[in-house]
Amino acid sequence: MKVVIGIDPGSIVCGYGVVAKRGHELYYVTSGDIRMSKTAPLELRLRQLFEELRAVIKDVRPDEAVIEKIFYARGKLAALQLGHARGVAMLSASIEDVPVVQYSALEVKKAVVGYGRADKNQVIKMTRMILNIGAELTSDSADALALALCHLNSLNISDLEERKGRLRPPLEPPARASVPLTP
């Protein structure tokens, strides 16, 4: 069984979602949000994020962690704070010897919804459908679960390509008969 944790980092709210896969079956394990005080100094929020995220990682023992690549931030300060939160998420996984993989929001939305410009509600709805989750999800935990799903889907494609290369030798073009051209 392969267990993957998706992490949607933030300096105020960090979503996480854990999905397991056995064969072709996907299983929802857990998800949630780590919420930090907007008024607390950044260093205390980052410490809280590190401690709580590391506890989740220790608890679920994932094989891999998936984090969204930064592509947009509202401003310079927001981008810096998001960068700090991403670093803490990577460190939390790394300290527990969990490899980290990154995908863009476009890749995640395309993998889960089928459309790279999908909105948050579409991501939430499809994530709940794919994992058969009856309960409501926050957008942060849905994004984290979508990251895990994207990675597990990309593993399928990689596995197929690898197997295809191993199982079927490349075809050689048929030998051509040389026919003399007559004038």
* Listed range (45-49, 62-66, 95-99, 113-117) with the worst mean pLDDT: 113-117
Q: Which domains does the chain have, with CATH numbers?
A: 2-157 (3.30.420.10)
The predicted model scores a pTM of 0.84
Please answer whether residues 109 and 118 qualify as being in contact, where contact means their C-beta atoms are separated by less than 8 angstroms: yes
Q: Which residues are catalytic?
A: 8, 68, 140
Q: Which residue has the higher pLDDT, 168 or 77?
A: 77
Structure tokens at 124: 């939430």
CA distance 180 to 44: 83
